[in-house]
């Protein structure tokens, strides 16, 4: 899943980004409200972490504008003040939750997981193509009933491909949505992960589900 962090204090933004990446999320960072609003309006995210006190455009205004633009991505607001009025403003603007700084990272992660689960249940908790099943809540992957162990990155890559079953997904698409917006597409790390994922998913089965579309990218066939 892909998360946007809008936080002007660079050491806090870096800390949050590193922690989220270690949990397997793709993370983009914006350091002011204008940049954050632009990212949120032009890229697809599963969650936005939005500080209230931001330069150029404050977080409450960013939140209001995103909701006016019909962008329904869950928003977790961060505030340095433990003031009821700030929390109410954030929630009234359209945020789903808030957290006061400084915070324990474990609590932050717990709130992130809750919001992502809530979003997921609005769609489906499972993805299935042929006999391949991905459980998004337990992170369990099975094919013909046999469990397949995947690394965190392999799971995220498979999830992304399965969400776009039947579509050709380019390396750029993958780099932005499974890694992050600053990932270098000149490395072969995506090809390595695809190769390993294909080995785990398709080896030993007649039907190949993960295909390479020469010169274009990759695709999961239904």
CATH code for the domain in which residue 73 is found: 3.40.50.2300
Does 131 lie in the same domain as 60? no
Q: How many alpha carbons fall within 13 Å on the CB side of residue 82?
A: 3
Picking from 74, 77, 73, 72, the residue whose alpha carbon sits closest to that of residue 61 is 77
Tell me the pLDDT tens digit for each residue of 54-70.
Answer: 999 999 999 999 999 99
How many structural domains are present in the chain? 2
Do 41 and 23 fall within a single domain?
A: yes
- What share of the chain has pLDDT > 90, as a percent? 52
pLDDT of the residue at 179: 74
* Chain-centre distance for alpha carbon 30: 15
Domain that holds residue 205: 126-220
pTM of the model: 0.63
Decide which of 88, 121, 154 is a domain's last residue: 121
67-112: pLDDT as tens digits: 999 998 999 999 876 667 777 888 888 999 999 888 889 999 999 9
Q: Provide the pLDDT for residue 55.
A: 96
Provide the CATH number for the domain around residue 157: 1.10.10.10
Residue 137, classed as helix, strand or coil, is coil
Report the Cα 168 to chain-centroid distance in Å: 20
* Same domain assignment for residues 134 and 208: yes
* Same domain assignment for residues 92 and 171: no
Mean pLDDT for the stretch of residues 201-208: 92
The secondary element (H helix, E strand) that includes residue 68 is helix 59-68
Q: Of 159, 158, 182, 162, which Cα lies nearest the Cα of 172?
A: 182
Pick the last residue of a domain from 80, 97, 121.
121
pLDDT band at 35; cut points 50, 70, 90: very high
- Residues 116, 214, single domain; the answer is no
User: Do 108 and 7 have their domain in common?
Assistant: yes
Tokens of 75: 């928003």
Residue with token string 């919001």: 115
Note whether 181 and 212 are same-domain residues: yes
C-alpha 198/C-alpha 193 separation (Å) is 8
pLDDT in tens, 157-176: 998 899 889 889 888 888 87
Q: Are 5 and 49 in contact (CB under 8 A)?
A: yes
Question: Are 209 and 135 in a shared domain?
Answer: yes
Q: What is the pLDDT of residue 186?
A: 66
**pLDDT tens digits for range 117-126:** 776 655 567 8
What residues have CB less than 8 Å from 137, skipping those under 6 apart?
117, 120, 125
Tokens 């809750």, residue?
Answer: 114
How much is the pLDDT for 181? 57
Residue 115 and residue 10 in one domain: yes
CA 49 – CA 72 distance, rounded (Å):
13
Domain boundary among 57, 86, 121: 121
Q: Are 109 and 97 in contact (CB under 8 A)?
A: no
Indicate if 102 and 11 belong to the same structural domain. yes
Q: Which helix (H) or strand (E) holds 128?
A: strand 126-129
Which pLDDT score, from 0 to 100, does residue 109 have? 92
Pair 61, 134 in one domain: no
- Give the mean pLDDT of the chain: 88
> Does residue 40 sit in the same domain as residue 85?
yes
């Amino acid at each position: 899943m892909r998360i946007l962090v809008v936080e002007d204090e660079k050491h806090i933004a870096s800390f949050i980004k590193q922690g989220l990446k270690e949990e397997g999320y793709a993370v983009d960072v914006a350091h002011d409200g204008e940049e954050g609003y632009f990212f949120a309006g032009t890229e697809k995210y599963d969650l936005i972490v939005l500080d209230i006190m931001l330069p150029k455009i404050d977080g409450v205004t960013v939140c209001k504008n995103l909701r006016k633009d019909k962008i329904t991505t869950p928003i977790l607001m961060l505030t340095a003040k433990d003031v009821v009025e700030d929390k109410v403003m954030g929630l009234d603007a359209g945020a789903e939750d808030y957290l006061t700084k400084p915070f324990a990272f474990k609590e932050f992660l717990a709130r992130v997981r809750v919001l992502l689960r809530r979003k997921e249940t609005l769609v489906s908790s499972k993805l299935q193509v042929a006999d391949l099943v991905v459980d998004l809540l337990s992170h369990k992957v099975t094919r013909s009933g046999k469990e397949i162990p995947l690394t965190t990155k392999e799971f995220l890559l498979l999830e992304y491909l399965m969400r776009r079953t039947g579509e050709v997904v380019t390396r750029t698409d993958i780099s932005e949505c499974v890694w992050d917006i600053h990932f270098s597409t000149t490395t072969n790390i995506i090809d390595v992960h695809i190769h390993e994922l294909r080995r785990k998913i398709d080896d030993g089965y007649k039907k190949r589900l993960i295909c390479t579309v020469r010169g274009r990218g990759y695709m999961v066939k239904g």
